[in-house]
Amino acid sequence: MIAPSLLSADFGNLRDEFQWLNRSTADWIHLDVMDGVFVPNISFGFPVISHVKRLTEKPLDVHLMIVQPEKFIREVSELGAHVMTVHHEACIHLHRTVHEIQRYGMLAGVALNPSTPVAVLQDIIGDLDLVLLMSVNPGFGGQKFIPHTLQKVTQLRTLIAESGSHALIEVDGGVNMDTGRLLRQAGADVLVAGNAIFASDNPEEMCRRLGAL
């Protein structure tokens, strides 16, 4: 699957961006919420996402890069999100948060920063619908892919197989045709791509090519 990250879109022309996104092969629309505390940047919040929701029928993949994301489960579900992903590093009671997300009818995702080992998921993997491996330090689009992520995808694939988990593996940051190909080979299910898609001459075609890897 391919999930274009709206962070790299032209926010002055969202209606135009969704003209091509809606007819594209994009499986999900990836939305990065930042609070300036968990990450050194601030992006957009719920009012913007509710506008986005009105522009598309594509499932929304909401990635919260915020502290205490458990405070906003109801708000995110009311936006009609398909996936709600919280950071492992931001949740003290991760098990409770994951089950709360599912109780509100969303898929529950857990994101890991580049320095957080896959092994921290050992006792929760069976409860998860998705694991998001950050392949850059979260906070900004257009950064360089961290190659060690490929090993983490392989480790996570093994952990998922051994535990019988149904979790999808999503990778976010620095994904392009080269890194995307390697990630698919390693076993990634969902690729998030911002810059590679929105900065390309033909975003719709790039979206199709990344999704077909």
Binding site for ligand DX5 (CB under 6 A): 5, 7-8, 30, 32, 63, 136, 138-143, 172-175, 192-196
Phi, psi of 24 (to 5 degrees): -80, 180
3-state SS assignment for residue 46 = helix
Instruction: Out of 17, 27, 32, 70, name the contact with Zn ion by CB under 5 A.
Output: 32
- For 88-109, give one letter per residue: b (16+ CB within 10 A) or e: bbbbeebeebbebbbebebbbb
The listed partner (Zn ion, ligand DX5, none) that binds 85, CB under 5 to 8 Å by sort, is none
- Here's the x/- map for Zn ion, 120-159, by CB under 5 A: it reads as ----------------------------------------
Rounded to an integer, what distance in angstroms lies between the CA atom of residue 110 and that of residue 121? 9
DSSP state of 141: S
Rounded to an integer, what distance in angstroms lies between the CA atom of residue 39 and that of residue 12? 24
- Here's the x/- map for Zn ion, 46-85, by CB under 5 A: it reads as -----------------x----------------------
32 annotated active-site: yes
| Residue 120 burial class via C-beta count within 10 angstroms: exposed 0-12, middle 13-18, buried 19 and up | middle
The listed partner (ligand DX5, Zn ion, none) that binds 191, CB under 5 to 8 Å by sort, is none
- Show the CA angle centred on residue 63, arms to residues 19 and 212, nearest 5°: 55
- CB nearer ligand DX5, residue 29 or residue 175: 175
- CB nearer Zn ion, residue 58 or residue 63: 63
> Which one from 172, 178, 189, 201 is the annotated catalytic residue?
172
129 annotated active-site: no
- Residues carrying an active site annotation: 32, 172
Q: Which residues are near Zn ion by CB under 5 A?
A: 32, 63, 172
